[in-house]
Each structure stands twice: as structure tokens, then as C-alpha cells.
């Protein structure tokens, strides 16, 4: 083999290692540390989106309380996504923007809509009286 081909293969393997394999191993290690460090009273979010407080920690599972009604759910540790409260990326003021009256589209009066519907029904059909939904068309 040509030395430049070997050099390109080595560079390709190095790029794969530093761009794909190494960051993935770091993420796995961080997730394992997160799951092993869970303790009673922590607030967490599961991979399914369930939010709750930890009530009991076992070897492979944890029991969380999901609401003030003391609803308890037992989940496995690998199902924990994050600890702490998840917040949306949108600021709250953007969610509750009020529509200005000038931006609203005025609704069509009901009487006008009824008249238009009646006018459409009175028109003779161009296809011999058959409707487009008729299976014989």
C-alpha cells in the first residue's frame, strides 16, 4: 500500500475516535454518574417525561412521587433522563402574548354565510347533476 493511503486511513480513524466515539463515552459516563448519585428528595425527569421527587432508592430501581396526591411510581434507574426541573426554552412572556384587536380577523356574519351556501346549492351541476362524492361519477 501507498504511504499516503495508510496516512489517510490513520487520520480517518483518529477523526472518528475524537468526533464520535470519545464524546459518546463521555455522555455514557456522565449519565451513569447521574444515575448512581440519585438520592431521596431529588427532583427528576424520566425519559418518558414523568416528573417527580425521589422517595426511595433501591439497587436497580427508584420510587418517585409524581404529585401532591402521593402517587408513587417505581421506575428503573436507566429511565432517568435528568435531575432538577425542566423548563421550556421559550420565555413565558412569548407564550402569553395578547392579540391586538387590529390583528384579529373579523368573523363573517352568519346570515351572509347562509346566503352563500344557498346560492351554491341553487347552481345547476355541470356534470349532469352528479356530485363529486357520488361513486358513479
What are the grid coordinates assigned to 113, written together?
354565510
Record the pTM.
0.51
Tell me which of 39 and 104 has the higher pLDDT: 39
pLDDT digits (tens, 9 = 90+) for 83-134: 887 666 555 545 555 555 555 555 555 656 666 666 666 655 555 555 567 6
Spatial CB neighbours of 46, under 8 Å, sequence gap ≥ 6: 64, 75, 79, 80, 81
Tell me which of 85 and 20 has the higher pLDDT: 20
Beta strands in 7-123 (DSSP E): 43-46, 51-57, 61-65, 72-76, 80-83
| Contact status, residue 2 vs residue 9, Cβ threshold 8 Å | no
Amino acid at each position: 500500500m501507498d504511504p499516503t493511503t495508510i496516512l489517510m486511513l490513520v487520520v480517518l480513524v483518529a477523526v472518528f475516535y475524537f468526533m464520535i466515539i470519545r464524546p459518546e463515552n463521555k455522555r455514557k459516563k456522565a449519565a451513569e454518574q447521574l444515575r448512581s448519585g440519585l438520592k431521596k428528595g431529588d427532583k427528576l425527569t424520566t425519559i418518558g417525561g414523568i416528573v417527580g421527587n425521589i422517595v426511595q432508592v433501591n439497587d436497580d430501581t427508584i420510587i418517585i412521587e409524581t404529585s401532591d396526591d402521593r402517587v408513587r411510581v417505581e421506575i428503573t434507574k436507566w429511565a432517568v433522563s435528568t435531575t432538577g426541573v425542566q423548563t421550556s426554552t421559550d420565555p413565558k412572556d412569548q407564550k402569553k402574548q395578547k392579540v391586538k384587536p387590529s390583528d384579529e380577523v373579523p368573523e363573517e356574519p352568519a346570515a351572509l354565510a347562509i346566503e352563500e351556501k344557498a346560492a351554491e346549492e341553487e347552481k345547476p351541476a355541470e356534470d349532469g347533476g352528479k356530485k363529486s362524492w357520488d361513486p358513479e361519477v
